[in-house]
Amino acid sequence: MTSVPLSEEVENRIRAMFSGEVARASARSMLLEYQTEAWHGEVERVRIGVLQICQGNLERMRRLVDVAKRDYRDLLMLAEYMPADGNKPISQRNARRETPDE
């Protein structure tokens, strides 16, 4: 599979998030791992999602990249539908808890 280089957007986020060049190189290396399989989709969205969730923590980034490599949809759900404050997803906050029979 052809390697998908990191976009300018992803590079900018890496520079803003990590202060040392060693940490930046580690982050780049991990993000480049995602796109090695033909079924790895939404490469840019996944990489940005990983950066959003990891909050500058390389150990967390490792776990998130591994999640994405298994099923990128799980990562996208975490990044795009789970609020940063740990509360329920926006789509579920206003959902009725009662069933129609209650």
The overall average pLDDT reported for the chain is 84
Rounded Cα–Cα distance for residues 76 and 55 (Å): 16
Of 1, 59, 58, the residue nearest 35 (C-alpha): 1
Q: What is the mean pLDDT of residues 94-102?
A: 43
Copy the structure tokens of residue 64.
Answer: 């998130």
Q: What is the mean pLDDT of residues 46-68?
A: 95
pLDDT bracket for residue 3 (50, 70, 90): confident
44 pLDDT higher than 70:
yes
User: What is each CA distance from 39 to 11, 54, 64, in whole angstroms?
Assistant: 24, 23, 17
Element (H, E) at 94: none
Q: What is the pTM of this model?
A: 0.78
Please state the domain extents for the chain: 8-82
Compare 100 and 73 and report the one with higher pLDDT: 73
